[in-house]
Chain A
Amino acid sequence: MIITCPYCGPRDLSEFAYQGDGNRKRPDQASTSQKAWNAYVYDRLNPAGEHNEIWQHAGGCRRHLAVTRNTLTHAISKVGFAGAGATRKPAPRRKPRQKS
Chain B
Amino acid sequence: MSPRRTASGGLIDRSRSIRFSFDGDFYTGHPGDTLASALLAQGVTLFGRSFKYHRPRGVLTAGVDEPNALVTVLRGDAREPNIPATMLEIYDGLTVVSQNRFPSLAFDVGAVNQLGGKILGAGFYYKTFMGPVFGPLKGTRFWMFCEHFIRRAAGLGRAGKVADPSRYERMNAFCDVLVVGSGPAGLMAAKQAASSGARVVLADLEPRLGGSANWSGESIDGTAAAEWAAATVAELKARPNVRLLPRTTVWGYYDDNTLSALERVTDHKRTARKGEPRQRHWTIRAGRVVLATGAFERPMVFPGNDRPGVMLAASAARYATEFGVLPGGKIAVFANNDGAYRSALALREAGTSIVAIVDVRAEVSTAARELATKAKAEILAGQAVVATEGGKTLSGIKVQTFDAATGVVRGDARSIDVDFLAVSGGWSPIIHLASQAGARAVWDEKAQAFMLPPATERWTGAGACAGEFSTGEALAGGAAAGSWAAGGASATDPVPEAGGAVLDIAPAPVFEIPAGGKAFVDFQHDVTADDVRLAHREGFISVEHLKRYTTLGMATDQGKTSNIPGLAIMANALGKQIPEVGTTRFRPPFAPVSVGSLAAERYGDIRPERLTPMHDWHVDNGATMYSAGLWHRPMIYARPGETVDQAYVREARTTREKAGIVDVSTLGKIAVQGPDAGDFLDRVYTNMFSTLPVGKARYGLMLREDGFAMDDGTTWRLAEDDFLMTTTTANAGKVMQHLEYLLDVVWPELRVHLTSVTDQWAGAAIGGPRAREILAACVTGTAVDNETLPFMGIVHGEIAGAPVVICRLSFSGEMAFEVYSGAGHGTHVWQALMKAGKPFGLVPYGLEALGTMRIEKGHVTGAEIDGRTTARDLHLDWILSKKKPFVGSMMMDREGMTSSDRLQLVGIIALDNRPLNGGAHIVERLDRETPRDSIGHITAACYSPVLRKHIALALVRGGKSRHGDRAYVSDPLRDRFGAVEIVSHHFYDPEGKRLHG
Chain A interface (Cβ < 8 Å from any Cβ of B)? 1-2, 17, 19, 26-27, 29-32, 34, 37-38, 40-42, 54, 56, 58, 62-64, 73-74, 81-84, 86-89, 91-92
Q: A32-B890, A91-B675 are in contact. Are A2 and B741 (CB under 8 A)?
A: no
A83 lies within 8 A of B748 (CB): yes
A41 lies within 8 A of B255 (CB): no
Partner of B737, one of A17, A40, A74: A17
**Chain B residues with Cβ under 8 A from A54's Cβ?**
741, 745
B444 within 8 Å of A by Cβ?
A: no
A31 CA to B676 CA, complexed, in Å: 21
A88 lies within 8 A of B751 (CB): yes
Question: Can you sample 27 A-B contacts with CB below 8 Å?
Answer: A1-B258, A2-B256, A2-B285, A17-B737, A19-B737, A26-B746, A27-B890, A30-B885, A32-B890, A34-B894, A41-B706, A54-B741, A54-B745, A56-B740, A56-B741, A56-B744, A62-B740, A64-B741, A74-B255, A82-B744, A83-B745, A86-B748, A87-B749, A88-B749, A89-B676, A91-B751, A92-B675
Q: A30-B885, A32-B890, A41-B706 are in contact. Are A63 and B751 (CB under 8 A)?
A: no
Say how far A27's CB is from chain B's closest CB, in angstroms.
8
Q: A2-B256, A31-B890 are in contact. Are A89 and B749 (CB under 8 A)?
A: yes
Say how far A13's CB is from chain B's closest CB, in angstroms.
8
A34 CA to B894 CA, complexed, in Å: 9
Nearest-CB residue, chain B, relative to A1: B255
B744 lies within 8 A of A37 (CB): no
A37 CA to B254 CA, complexed, in Å: 38
**4 additional contacts, CB 8 Å, given A41-B705, A54-B745, A87-B749?**
A19-B741, A56-B737, A62-B740, A82-B744
5 closest A-B pairs by CB = A83-B748, A86-B748, A64-B744, A74-B255, A37-B890
A31 CA to B886 CA, complexed, in Å: 11
B751 lies within 8 A of A89 (CB): yes
Q: A29-B683, A41-B705 are in contact. Are A83 and B744 (CB under 8 A)?
A: yes
**Chain A residues with Cβ under 8 A from B676's Cβ?**
89
**Chain A residues with Cβ under 8 A from B675's Cβ?**
89, 91-92
Within 8 A of A (CB), among B396-448: 438
Say how far B379's CB is from chain A's closest CB, in angstroms.
50
A62 CA to B256 CA, complexed, in Å: 23
Partner of B891, one of A17, A41, A62, A73: A41
Partner of A64, one of B438, B740, B751, B885: B740
B683 lies within 8 A of A40 (CB): no
Task: Convert B388-401 into 0s and 1s, putting 1 for each residue whose CB lies closer than 8 angstroms to a CB of A.
Answer: 00000000000000
Partner of A73, one of B254, B438, B740, B749: B438
Task: Convert B751-776 into 0s and 1s, putting 1 for each residue whose CB lies closer than 8 angstroms to a CB of A.
Answer: 10000000000000000000000000
**Chain A residues with Cβ under 8 A from B706's Cβ?**
41-42
A83 CA to B749 CA, complexed, in Å: 8
A70 CA to B675 CA, complexed, in Å: 39
Say how far B440's CB is from chain A's closest CB, in angstroms.
13
B751 lies within 8 A of A37 (CB): no
Say how far B263's CB is from chain A's closest CB, in angstroms.
20
**Chain A residues with Cβ under 8 A from B750's Cβ?**
88
Nearest-CB residue, chain A, relative to B751: A88
Task: Convert B725-754 into 0s and 1s, putting 1 for each residue whose CB lies closer than 8 angstroms to a CB of A.
Answer: 000000000000100110011101111000
Task: Convert B547-560 into 0s and 1s, putting 1 for each residue whose CB lies closer than 8 angstroms to a CB of A.
Answer: 00000000000000
**Chain A residues with Cβ under 8 A from B737's Cβ?**
17, 19, 56, 58
A interface, over-half SS: loop
Say how far A86's CB is from chain B's closest CB, in angstroms.
4
Within 8 A of A (CB), among B222-257: 254-256
Nearest-CB residue, chain A, relative to B894: A34
Say how far A52's CB is from chain B's closest CB, in angstroms.
12
A95 CA to B542 CA, complexed, in Å: 77
**Chain B residues with Cβ under 8 A from A83's Cβ?**
744-746, 748
A18 CA to B741 CA, complexed, in Å: 11
A63 CA to B741 CA, complexed, in Å: 9
Instruction: Name the residue among B438, B751, B890, B891 with the largest chain A CB count within 10 angstroms.
Output: B890
A29 CA to B749 CA, complexed, in Å: 14
A34 CA to B741 CA, complexed, in Å: 22
A9 CA to B19 CA, complexed, in Å: 54
Nearest-CB residue, chain A, relative to B438: A73
**Chain B residues with Cβ under 8 A from A34's Cβ?**
890, 894
A64 CA to B737 CA, complexed, in Å: 10
A88 CA to B683 CA, complexed, in Å: 17
A74 CA to B254 CA, complexed, in Å: 10
A32 CA to B891 CA, complexed, in Å: 10
A32 CA to B885 CA, complexed, in Å: 9
B745 lies within 8 A of A1 (CB): no
A30 CA to B885 CA, complexed, in Å: 6
**Chain B residues with Cβ under 8 A from A32's Cβ?**
890
Say how far B671's CB is from chain A's closest CB, in angstroms.
14
A82 lies within 8 A of B745 (CB): yes
A31 CA to B748 CA, complexed, in Å: 19
Say how far A100's CB is from chain B's closest CB, in angstroms.
19
A54 CA to B742 CA, complexed, in Å: 12
B885 lies within 8 A of A86 (CB): no
**Chain B residues with Cβ under 8 A from A62's Cβ?**
740
Within 8 A of A (CB), among B673-694: 675-676, 683
A30 CA to B254 CA, complexed, in Å: 46
A32 CA to B737 CA, complexed, in Å: 26
A63 lies within 8 A of B705 (CB): no
**Chain A residues with Cβ under 8 A from B255's Cβ?**
1-2, 74
**Chain A residues with Cβ under 8 A from B683's Cβ?**
29
Task: Convert B644-680 into 0s and 1s, putting 1 for each residue whose CB lies closer than 8 angstroms to a CB of A.
Answer: 0000000000000000000000000000000110000
Nearest-CB residue, chain B, relative to A31: B890
Say how far A55's CB is from chain B's closest CB, in angstroms.
11
A17 CA to B733 CA, complexed, in Å: 12
A42 CA to B894 CA, complexed, in Å: 14
**Chain A residues with Cβ under 8 A from B885's Cβ?**
29-30
A40 CA to B888 CA, complexed, in Å: 11
A74 CA to B429 CA, complexed, in Å: 27
Partner of A1, one of B256, B705, B749, B751: B256
**Chain A residues with Cβ under 8 A from B744's Cβ?**
56, 63-64, 81-83
A38 CA to B892 CA, complexed, in Å: 11
A17 CA to B101 CA, complexed, in Å: 50
A88 CA to B679 CA, complexed, in Å: 14
Nearest-CB residue, chain B, relative to A40: B705
A32 CA to B447 CA, complexed, in Å: 68
A81 CA to B744 CA, complexed, in Å: 8
Instruction: Name the residue among A31, A74, A86 with the largest chain B CB count within 10 angstroms.
Output: A86
Say how far B203's CB is from chain A's closest CB, in angstroms.
21
A86 lies within 8 A of B749 (CB): yes
A73 CA to B620 CA, complexed, in Å: 56
Say how far B176's CB is from chain A's closest CB, in angstroms.
15
A100 CA to B446 CA, complexed, in Å: 91
Say how far B722's CB is from chain A's closest CB, in angstroms.
13
Nearest-CB residue, chain B, relative to A26: B746
Say how far B674's CB is from chain A's closest CB, in angstroms.
8
Instruction: Name the residue among B256, B740, B744 with the largest chain A CB count within 10 angstroms.
Output: B744
Instruction: Name the residue among B256, B258, B438, B745 with the largest chain A CB count within 10 angstroms.
Output: B745
Q: A2-B256, A56-B740 are in contact. Are A64 and B749 (CB under 8 A)?
A: no
Say how far A45's CB is from chain B's closest CB, in angstroms.
16
Nearest-CB residue, chain A, relative to B256: A2
A56 CA to B750 CA, complexed, in Å: 19
